[in-house]
Amino acid sequence: MYAIAMPRQYSMLYNASHIILPFFKSNSGVMNPTSVSSLNPISSIWCVIENMFLAATAEGLACSMRIPVGDEGLNVAKMVEAPESYLLPCYIGVGYPASEKPFVEQNEYTAKQKIHFGRW
């Protein structure tokens, strides 16, 4: 799955009409949390990202996302001259969906088939 997904993430970003870089202001505790509240900036940005995806979808747009690996996010921050205290959690590609997209068959389940009591 990973071998299939990673190249697609790159190609979706490369072919996107627009790319959004959602930086957020980090505090010193985000990467070394001392309490749950020190994670507020990172949890807030992921809520913002989710809302961006929902808003774009409501407008008939498609979105893709890729999370930077290693120092990639820091390198992008330097390239766009973001302040030092800002972090890049992901790249977001936005554009109109392809007209010839593959059909993905959905499996239908009832709640009774999915709810388990006393077992996994």
116 lies in some domain: no
Tally of domains in the chain? 1
The boundaries of the domain holding residue 90 are: 2-97
d(CA 57, CA 52): 8
3-state secondary structure 21-58: CCCEECCCCCCCCCCHHHHHHHHHHHHHHHHHHHHHHH
Residue with tokens 């936005």: 94
19 lies in some domain: yes
Torsion sign (Cα): 81, 79, 11, 104: negative
d(CA 14, CA 16): 6
pTM above 0.85, yes or no: no
115 lies in some domain: no
Query: Residue 99: pLDDT above 70?
Result: yes
* pLDDT (mean) for 18-47: 85
> Which residues does residue 86 pair with via DSSP β-bridges, in sequence order?
25
* CATH code of the domain covering residue 55: 3.40.109.10
112 lies in some domain: no
Query: Residue 44: pLDDT above 80?
Result: yes
104 lies in some domain: no
Q: For residue 111, what is the DSSP state? A: H
16 lies in some domain: yes
* Selected residue with higher pLDDT from 80 and 100: 80
* pLDDT (mean) for 29-43: 80
22 lies in some domain: yes
